[in-house]
Amino acid sequence: MTTISEQDITVEKTQNSKLKDTDFNNLPFGKVFSDHMLISRYKEGSWSIPEVVPYQPITLDPSAKIFHYGQSVFEGMKAYKDDNDDIYLFRPLENCKRLNISSKRLAIPEIPESYFMEGLKKLLKVDQDWIPTTSGSALYIRPFVFASGNGFHASPANEYIFIIATAPSGAYFSGKVTVAIEEKYSRSANGGVGYAKAGGNYAGQFYPTQLAIDKGYNQVIWTDDTTHEYIEEAGAMNIFVRINDTLITAPTSDRILDGITRKSILEIAKKEGINVDVRRISVKEIVEAAKNGSLKEMFGSGTAAVISPISGFGYKNKDYTLPELDDSYANKLKTLITDIQYNRSEDPFNWRTKID
């Protein structure tokens, strides 16, 4: 079966809800988890019909291939409540599509779209009271797939588990972020898995990021793998640069994630009449723009923070500070995109999906 409806999905309710013990006015990002999760298992060539079950640990054999060969991909998305307590998702089919693009690259069986969408809708209805309503908060949603099949042989697994778990999270404030432009390490390479949301991509970022933190920066701006002359991403986010009144971002490639927030920002910016340029951006160009005053803004974009402004960067042992603007593109674009997400404005792009 590759097409299902919500009615096909069974629900096992928890007997020990954590809801009453959760402080919704003090929600750290991704550390408090809702009562239930969605689970489906791939075995003998097909995925089982998803089930909603109590949030719980997973038991795996020590020889499960996830531990040895890293077959694991994930997504990040959110559910929002508006002032009427109606529930909305933001471009969820894009997350489903990208999860399967990532899966294909790591030789993981793809998830049928109806399993993803109908399963997610069912889960959100069961845990709808976990979607916070305080300003800026949302229910963070983490779909992920990993190899559960056993064996030490270096080959794709024959069994997998698909889970959607959720975590109510408060407003994400990154504060003033300073970054170091990476001169040695690479996030990904041509022909590699940089465009996939593979767990190993993020594991490989932690060490060079810690080196930057030890030097007083918050994050790393990743550069290309061969020359380190072109910027590509900012930490785990896509990156935008504003030079004069033009908003620039690098094109997606084998090395750069096709961010859903990134492409939403591009469409909104064009609609607002902002000059947009999708092209390679050299470190030299950014440094020169910082020196001559034409570099107005830099910011990262992603699900968690939506937009995270960068206040300064370091390169070759020299620091550069960006101006503080009252009319920044970052603030304007973040307001426009979050107004759509929270149903505070019209949605001219048809990006919202209401959970009825």
Positive/negative CA dihedral, 200, 198, 210, 139: negative
> Has residue 115 got a pLDDT over 80?
yes
Tell me the pTM: 0.96
Which ranges in 127-242 belong to alpha helices (H)?
199-214
- Token representation of residue 343: 């149903």
Q: What is the mean pLDDT of the chain?
A: 96
Q: Please, what are the domains in the chain? A: 6-169 (3.30.470.10), 177-341 (3.20.10.10)
- Cβ-contact 190, 254 below 8 angstroms: yes
Tokens 């609609």 belong to which residue?
A: 271
The pLDDT confidence band at residue 176, using thresholds 50, 70 and 90, is confident
Average pLDDT over residues 81-86: 96
Please state, in angstroms and rounded to a whole number, the distance separating the CA atoms of residues 61 and 63: 5
Query: CB neighbours of 185 closer than 8 A, spacing ≥ 6?
Result: 207, 208, 220
Helices 92-105/113-126 angle, 10° precision = 130
Please state, in angstroms and rounded to a whole number, the distance separating the CA atoms of residues 270 and 260: 16
- Cβ-contact 88, 354 below 8 angstroms: yes
Average pLDDT over residues 276-285: 98
**pLDDT digits 0-9 by tens, 135-148:** 889 999 999 999 99
Q: Which residues of 212-244 are buried (b: 16+ CB within 10 A; e: fewer)?
A: beeeebbbbbbbbbeebebbbbbbbbbbbbbbe
Query: What's residue 175's pLDDT?
Result: 72
The pLDDT confidence band at residue 172, using thresholds 50, 70 and 90, is confident
**pLDDT digits 0-9 by tens, 182-226:** 999 999 999 999 999 999 999 999 999 999 999 999 999 999 999
The pLDDT confidence band at residue 171, using thresholds 50, 70 and 90, is confident
